[in-house]
Amino acid sequence: MFQSFSYMAPAASVGIYLTGIAGLGLGSTPLVFLLAFLIFYMTINANYQISKKVVHAGGYYAYTSTGLGKKVGLFAGLFYALGDTAGLAAFGFLQFGVFLYYLFPSFSSIPYIWILFATATTIFITTFTYLGIKPNLMYVTITGIIEMLILYIASIYIIVVSGSANTLSVFTPTYVAPHYGNLFLGIIYSITAFTGVGSIITLGEEAKEPRKSIRKAILWILPIAAIPMILTTYAFTIAFGPNKMNVFATLSDPGVLILKSKMGDIFALIFSLFVLNSALSVGIAEFNAASRTYYGMARDGFLPKFLNYTHPKHGTPTHVILVMLIIAFVMAIGAVLAFGVYLGFFVLAGVAAIAAVAPHFLVNINMPFYLHKLKEKLTVGNVVTWIILPLLSAFLLALVFYFSYIPLPAYPYSLEVLAFVLIIIIAAAVVLYASKKNSEKLNEDIKSYD
């Protein structure tokens, strides 16, 4: 469960990421997070159902291949893995430094100090990922439990002391009218705060009794991580003032300022430390998930053989980790040089956000086809969970995607669409290569590695 919790990074989401989303959702930001949670919780039903039947490190590549075939599965897997690589650059390598800039604005006057922060976090995250799944998940589990408790304490306290300032109006689109496109774009960004639950499926081959444990983790982790995240978003919004969230979005560390005023300097400091830790934990979780996805596709013969390697002692796909490290670090440096630390972080986060929609859309479209392939009896339960819910989830994701990017948002956020098209081209090239080199494997059913 804490693989996903750390990927969702609740403390970092409300301590860092929230400021950018607040610029879109304004006083309706709690609605943005709530809708993102509800939509994503519905989409994850597909993972829950397939996890009972398939165990594969390739994650969305494998799951989507079950019904739609490996060609479509490769599109899903590459969208997930490449989006995760951009997410690693943003949330893993840059987010820690972004928050330090928030806490200590004087850092911004020191030329290129952000490179030091990015390098330090890169070394920390890569080392933990290299050492294997047990030590890195033990670390994020212990720190994640404390992080969850801190968010519950902070949000409940602020809600109680806010008294008459509490309002349900923040769960309506009142504050974004008539710019509803910003509401949908905010949902796209917020969905990245919940997509971490999908990372569980990439660990199936390393989990005990994966057909049981994976779906149990899927069932419980979203409420465990999402409730404190939504509560804290609500608490920060009513504490700052729904009508002043445009100002909230311009401040360097509004969450810390709120906690200082409501709960004192010591609690604000503790919160800040766990936001920084959350920024490290999300990098570990993204590394875990994406590296397994790349490895799963390489093992099946669709990516270079160099990537089909696991460390004899630690059991980690170290060749994939090395390649991801280089690509993500170059992406992080390039984004900052092009747009600055703060905007560069959000541009990469946007690329991760738009890429996250595709695999979840495809795996839900896959469900009726896989059900047909299984030749199972069409019970009411099967129709609901394998046909109605998945197709409704895919429709909602498509709807949010459409209203987020039609018309195109302002530059540089419009670059996310370019990144989306680029991933399609890369995936198409991989499928074309596989069709020529491994046509037999491409037409085989996906194998389950229990």
Percent composition of the chain: helix, strand, coil (DSSP 3-state, to 5) = 85, 0, 15
> Superfamily assignment of 2-439 in CATH?
Amino acid/polyamine transporter I (1.20.1740.10)
Alpha carbons 144 and 139: distance in angstroms, whole number: 8
Q: Which among 204, 269, 249 has a CA at the least distance from the CA of 50? A: 204
Instruction: Return the top range by mean pLDDT from 35-39, 265-269, 291-295, 408-412.
Output: 291-295
In eight-state DSSP terms, residue 325 is H
For residue 75, name the pLDDT band (cuts at 50, 70, 90).
Answer: very high
Question: Quick check: bond before 312 cis, omega within 30?
Answer: no
- What is the token pair recorded at 271? 């919160």
Instruction: Count other C-beta atoms under 10 Å from residue 178's C-beta.
Output: 6
**Which pLDDT belongs to residue 123?**
95
End-to-end CA distance of the chain: 19
**Which pLDDT belongs to residue 238?**
95
**What pTM was computed for the model?**
0.91
Asked if 277 contacts 147 with a C-beta cutoff of 8 angstroms, the reply is yes
Position of tokens 């919160």?
Answer: 271
Query: What is the secondary structure of 366-413 as a DSSP string?
Result: HHHHHHHHHT----HHHHIIIIIHHHHHHHHHHHHHHHHHSSPPSTTT
Q: Which among 186, 181, 176, 201 has a CA at the least distance from the CA of 84? A: 201
For residue 318, name the pLDDT band (cuts at 50, 70, 90).
Answer: very high
Express each pLDDT in 353-411 by its tens digit. Answer: 888 889 999 999 999 999 999 998 889 999 999 999 999 999 988 887 887 787 887 78
- For the chain, give every domain's residue range: 2-439
Mean pLDDT of the chain: 90
**Which pLDDT belongs to residue 290?**
95
Mean pLDDT value across residues 84-110: 88
**Which pLDDT belongs to residue 426?**
92
Q: Which among 13, 65, 63 has a CA at the least distance from the CA of 442? A: 65
In eight-state DSSP terms, residue 13 is I
Alpha carbons 11 and 272: distance in angstroms, whole number: 9
pLDDT over 90 at 112, yes or no: no
**Which pLDDT belongs to residue 54?**
95
Asked if 337 contacts 101 with a C-beta cutoff of 8 angstroms, the reply is no
For residue 166, name the pLDDT band (cuts at 50, 70, 90).
Answer: very high
